[in-house]
Structure 1
Amino acid sequence: MNAPTVTGEKDPNPTAANQTQIRTLARGNTEFGLTLLSSLAQDEPSTNQFISPYSISVALAMTYAGARGKTQKQMTETLRFSLEDATLHAAFGETEDQLAASNDDANSKKNVPFQLTTANAIWGQQNYPWRDDFLTTLKTYYDAGLHVLDFKENSAEATQTINEWVADQTEDKIRDLLPEGALNSLTRLVLTTAIYFRATWAEPFEKGRTTPQPFTALDGTTAEVPMMRQSESFPYATVDGHQVIELPYVGDEVGMVVILPKERTFEEFMESLDVDRLTSLLSGMDQQQGTISLPRFTIESSFELPTTLAELGMPVVFSNHADFSGMVDPAKTGEHLRIDDVLHKSYIAVDEEGTEAAAATAVEAVATGAARDPFTMTVDRPFYLLIRHRPTDTVLFLGRIVDASAAQSN
C-alpha cells in the first residue's frame, strides 16, 4: 500500500551549519535525552528502557518548524534547542548527511557489515492548505516529503500505511508504531522518523568464551545471564570509581559506550548524570589494554511521551492553546492544531558479533477549535432535548423537561 507523495521543493539557497553548530546541536540532544530517560525511569525504575534521543529530537524538530509563540518557546527550552531556527534545521540536516556519509563510506569497503540509515516523512491530510515554507523546511533539511492521506474518511488505512513505512525503514524491527485507534477523523498530520543500525564489532567476542555468569539486578536479586568476554585494547577510564569503556564497530566511526557505576551507587549516579558529567567521562578515556565482560541482551521499549514531555516543560504543545500556525493558516481551515501524541518504539540486540538497533518516533497533530476558556453548564431549570441522525440532520426525538423531579424512576 503506497500513499501518493508530493515531493515538494528544496530551498535553492539553504542555510549552512558548521561543525561547531552541529556539536552544539548534539550536546542539546544529549542533554534532552538524558533528562527524558531519567524521567521515564522514575515511572518504572525496575524496568529496562531503551530510547533513541535522536529519533525523538528529529521528529519534534520537524514539528517545531511549525510552532510559534509560547508553543515554540516551550519546545526550545524543553528540547534544549540553543541555535537560531534556520541554523538549527541546517544542523539537523548536516547531521543526517554525515550519518549517511558514514554508512556510504563503510559500505564502500568490501566485507564490512555496517548499516546506519535514517528516514523522515510527513503524512498530511489531503486537500489541507499546508504552508509552503513549512514543507520547504522539512524537505530541505530533513528530506521529508509530504505523503497525502485521508485521515478524515479512512484513518485505519492511514495507520496501516504509516506502520508499513516504519517497518520497512527499520528492517521490520519496529512494527505497529501507531496502535489501532491512534489516528482518527481529527488527525491532520503525522511526522515520522526512523533509524536503523546494524554493525559488527571491530573486535568481535568469541562465542566460545561466553558463559553463564551471575548478574545482580537493581532490586538485589541475582540470576545467571550469558556473559560475553574478551581481552583487547579499548578506550577506557575509571573516574571516581565509575568505569567507562567504548567498544568500537567496524569503520571506527560508531562505538557503544558502556558506563558501569561503582557498586550500590547506580541510582545516585543516574540522578547526577548530565551532559557535562557525561562529557567529562568520555573525555577521560584513553586506549588501555584490559578485559571486558558484557551480558548478551535484547531490549524492546515502547513509550507514549505526551505526559513526560509536558512535565519536562512543554505542556502548551498538547493543549488547545498550542500555536502551530507555522504549519497552516488557521484562517484558511477554521481550525487550530495541537499535538495529540508522541509515540516512540525502540529495539536493540547485542551479541558476540555486534549490534542491531532500530527506533521510530511519530508525532500526531490533530485539529481543535480556537483556544477558549472552559465553560460551565448547569442544567438546573426546564430544558429541551432532541436526538438526531447527524448524517441526514433528521430529528428522531424531541422533548422538553420542565420538572426533573417528576421524571425520576420509582
Structure 2
Amino acid sequence: MQKKMIFVLILALLSSFLLVSNSFADGNWDTYYELYPEPVVAQNCAVVKFKLTQVMTDDFITWPGYMYEIRYWKTEEPSNIKSVRIEMRFDVVQTVELTDLESDTEYTYKVWGQMPTYNLEGTPKTLSFRTLPKKNVYGELNGDGNINSTDLNLLRRYLLRVIDGFAVGDIACADLNGDGNVNSSDYSLLKRYVLRILDKFPVEEKEEINEGISDGFIEGNSKFAFDIFKEISKGEQGGNVFISPFGISTALSMVYQGAKSDTRKEMAKALGFEGLDITEINKSYKCLLKYFGQLDEKVKLKNSNSIWNNSLRSNAIKEDFISANKDVFNAVVESRDFSDQSVVSEINNWISEATEGKIENMFSRVDPNDISYIISALYFNGMWKEEFDIGRTSKEVFKAEDGSTDYVMMMRKNGKIGFGNGNGYKAVRLPYGDGEMAMYCILPDESTPMNDFIQKMDLSLWNEINNSITETENVFLCLPRFKMEYGKGENGSIMESLKALGMEKAFRDDADFSGISEISVRISDVLHKAVVEVNEKGTEASGGTVIPIVSPGIGPKPEFVANRPFVFVIADEKYDTILFMGKVANGEFAN
C-alpha cells in the first residue's frame, strides 16, 4: 500500500511538469498576446506575426492549459474556424503560416489558449487581411496547366460562338493584348505563342509595368505637378500658362542620379520623392516610359532624353552617371566642342525633332565654360475618343481673367460626357483614344478668381475632382479651340520657382553633385518651354526642359543685345565728364 502511494505521488509530480504550460509548477499565469499588423499575404496563404507574454497571478500550483493556437476564419463565415498550433515561447516575436486559404478573400485571426488568453491592453483582439486575387494564366483556357493547340482550338470555337466560355471560367485569360476585348487579334497572338514566335503576351508586359510603378512615385509626381504649377502661376496673373510637369520632373530626375547628401535631400523633397529609394524611383520611371510606348494608335506619347557633354572638359562627367541615365531614361549621349556655336543648331534640331517640330530655337547660344546640358523633351498627340463636330464651332465671347472680353472659336458638344461638380467648381473629362488618357477641364465658380483656385489645388482636391466625375447624360459642353506657347520670363527660366519649393542648394556653389563629376559642379538654371493646340480632332502638346551643368562660380553670361531702343553716352572716364548722349529708337540710321 505504501509503495502504491509513493507511485501515485511521483506520477502526479511528473504530470505537473509535463502538462503545465502557464506555469513552471510554481504558480498560475495569465497569457497575453499581441498581433502585429501587415502580415505577408499570398494568393492561398499568409504569414502572421505575434508575441505571447506571461504574467503570474498567484503561487498556487494547478493544472493550467498547455496548448495555444492561431485560429482563423473567413470574415464573413465566423463559425467555420481553422487553426494551427503555435509554440509555447514567450516574449519573442513568432511567425506562423496560415494555409488552405481562398484567393481574394478576407480572413480574420486571433490567438487562442486552452486556458484564458487575452489580447494585450491597447492591442487588437483580432486582425484581418485579404488574400491576393487569383492571377490569370493568359492563354491557358482548358485548365490543364499548359498552353498549346488545345487552347488555340478553344479560342477559335469561342470566336465562332460555338462555345460561350472556357474551362478556367475567366474570359480575361483570353484577352492577350489587354484591350478589354477577346477577338481575332488575341487568336493571332495565341497562335504565335504556340508556334514559339512569342514568349510573352502583351497583356503580361502591361501587368509587369503596373507592378513596377510604385504608388509613392505616382503620388510624388502628382504632388510636384501641382506644386510647380502653383509656383509658376503666382507671377502670371491674367496670363496664360502651360507647362509639362512630367517633363520638368524627368529632366531633374536625370540630374538627381548624381545628387548626394543635402543636395539630394532638397531635390527629393521638391520632386515628391521623400521616402523613396533611388531604385524604386528608377524602376518606376523605366516602367512608365515603357508604358508610354504601348498606348493605342490614336494616342502618341514620346519622351526623349539626351546629355550633351563639352568635349573641352573631357572626362568631366562620370561614366556611372552616364550609364544610369542610359539605362533608366534611354538617354542619348553626345560630346561636342562648346566653343563651336554650330552646336546651338544641333541641339535645337534635336529638340525640334523630339517634339515633332513644335519647339524650336530653345537655345540661343552655348557657353564654352559649361560642362554639360541635360535635356528632356515630351511630345503628345491624342485624338479625341469622340471628336467635336467642326460644323458647330463658332465665334463666341470669352471673358478674360482681368474682366476684358475676347472673341474665340468655341467648340460644342452635347450628350453623354464625364461631368462632375463640387465645392466651387465644375469639371469634365474628355478621353483620348481608348480612354487611357484624357483631358480634364476644371471651371471655377465665376466668383472665384482663377489664381485663388489654382493656389488651392493639391493632390487631395485633384482626387476629389476625379471622384466627382461620372458619365452623365445630356451635358452641354463649350470649349475654346486654342493654341498656346509658354515660357516663363524672357528665357523660360523656372529656377526661382524650384527654389521656392525648397530646391536651393542645387544652384549654389556648394552643391553636392559628386555622382556627376569628380570636379565640383552645380545647376546654373532650369529652362522650360511648352506648346499646346486643342481643336475638334484632339490635342497636340510638347514640352522641352534644359538643365545646364556648370562649374562653381560660372553661371549664364550676362547678355546685352541691343535689338530694341537704347540710350548711349560718350564720356571721359578719368573725370567723369559726359561729352555726348543720344538714343537709338529705330533702325532708320546709316550703317
TM-score, length basis structure 2: 0.56
Structure 1 position 205, deviation (Å): 0.7
Q: Does 1:204 align with 2:387?
A: yes
Structure 1 position 318, deviation (Å): 0.9
Superimposed CA distance per residue, residues 218-245 of structure 1 (whole angstroms, 9 cap, x where no aligned partner): 1111222111001121222111241111
Matched ranges for 1:363-402 at <5 A: 363-368=547-552
Rg larger for: 2
Tell me which residue corresponds to 2:354. Answer: 169
> Does the Cα contact within 8 Å between 2:237 and 2:451 map onto a contact in 1?
no
Match of 2:225 among 33, 39, 45: 33
**Separation in 2 of the partners of 1:148 and 1:173?**
25
Tell me which residue corresponds to 1:229. Answer: 412
**Separation in 1 of the partners of 2:388 and 2:210?**
38
Match of 1:242 among 394, 404, 425: 425
Matched ranges for 1:35-114 at <5 A: 35-82=227-274, 83-102=276-295, 106-107=296-297, 113-114=298-299
Structure 1 position 409, deviation (Å): 8.1
Q: Does 1:353 align with 2:537?
A: yes
Superimposed CA distance per residue, residues 164-210 of structure 1 (whole angstroms, 9 cap, x where no aligned partner): 100011111001122x23x2121111111111111211111111111
Structure 1 position 73, deviation (Å): 1.0
Tell me which residue corresponds to 1:327. Answer: 516
| Structure with the higher fraction of residues in helix conformation | 1
Q: Give SS of 1:190's match.
A: strand
Q: Which amino acid aligns with 2:299?
A: F
> Does the Cα contact within 8 Å between 2:213 and 2:285 map onto a contact in 1?
no
Q: Residues 408 and 212 of structure 1: is their aligned pair in 2 closer, same or farther, counting only changes over 3 Å?
A: closer
Match of 1:186 among 369, 377, 387: 369
Tell me which residue corresponds to 2:444. Answer: 261
Match of 2:306 among 97, 107, 121: 121
> Does the Cα contact within 8 Å between 1:66 and 1:324 map onto a contact in 2?
yes
Q: Give SS of 1:187's match.
A: coil
Q: Give SS of 2:516's match.
A: coil
Match of 1:276 among 460, 463, 468: 460
Moved over 6 A (4+): 407-410
Equivalenced residues, count: 342
> Does the Cα contact within 8 Å between 2:316 and 2:371 map onto a contact in 1?
no
Structure 1 position 22, deviation (Å): 3.5
Q: Which amino acid aligns with 2:397?
A: P
Tell me which residue corresponds to 1:142. Answer: 329
Q: What's the Cα RMSD here?
A: 1.9
Match of 1:299 among 481, 484, 488: 484
Q: Residues 209 and 62 of structure 1: is their aligned pair in 2 closer, same or farther, counting only changes over 3 Å?
A: same
Q: Residues 233 and 187 of structure 1: is their aligned pair in 2 closer, same or farther, counting only changes over 3 Å?
A: same
**Separation in 1 of the partners of 2:533 and 2:417?**
21
Q: Residues 19 and 242 of structure 1: is their aligned pair in 2 closer, same or farther, counting only changes over 3 Å?
A: farther
Structure 1 position 285, deviation (Å): 1.4
Q: Which amino acid aligns with 2:472?
A: Q
Tell me which residue corresponds to 2:402. Answer: 219
Superimposed CA distance per residue, residues 249-273 of structure 1 (whole angstroms, 9 cap, x where no aligned partner): 1221111000111112133321211
**Separation in 1 of the partners of 2:378 and 2:550?**
25
Q: Which amino acid aligns with 1:327?
A: I
Superimposed CA distance per residue, residues 31-67 of structure 1 (whole angstroms, 9 cap, x where no aligned partner): 1121212111221211101000000000000001111
Structure 1 position 369, deviation (Å): 6.0
Structure 1 position 308, deviation (Å): 1.7
Q: Which amino acid aligns with 1:297?
A: F
Using CA pairs under 8 Å that are at least 6 residues apart, name the structure with larger relative contact order, 1 or 2: 1
5+ long unaligned stretches in structure 2: 1-207, 555-573, 578-591
Structure 1 position 349, deviation (Å): 0.4
5+ long unaligned stretches in structure 1: 1-15, 108-112, 331-335, 371-406
Q: Which amino acid aligns with 2:350?
A: W
Q: Give SS of 1:368's match.
A: coil
> Does the Cα contact within 8 Å between 1:17 and 1:87 map onto a contact in 2?
no
Q: Calculate percent identity across the aligned residue pairs.
A: 30
TM-score, length basis structure 1: 0.79
Matched ranges for 1:17-32 at <5 A: 19=211, 21-32=213-224
> Does the Cα contact within 8 Å between 1:305 and 1:344 map onto a contact in 2?
yes
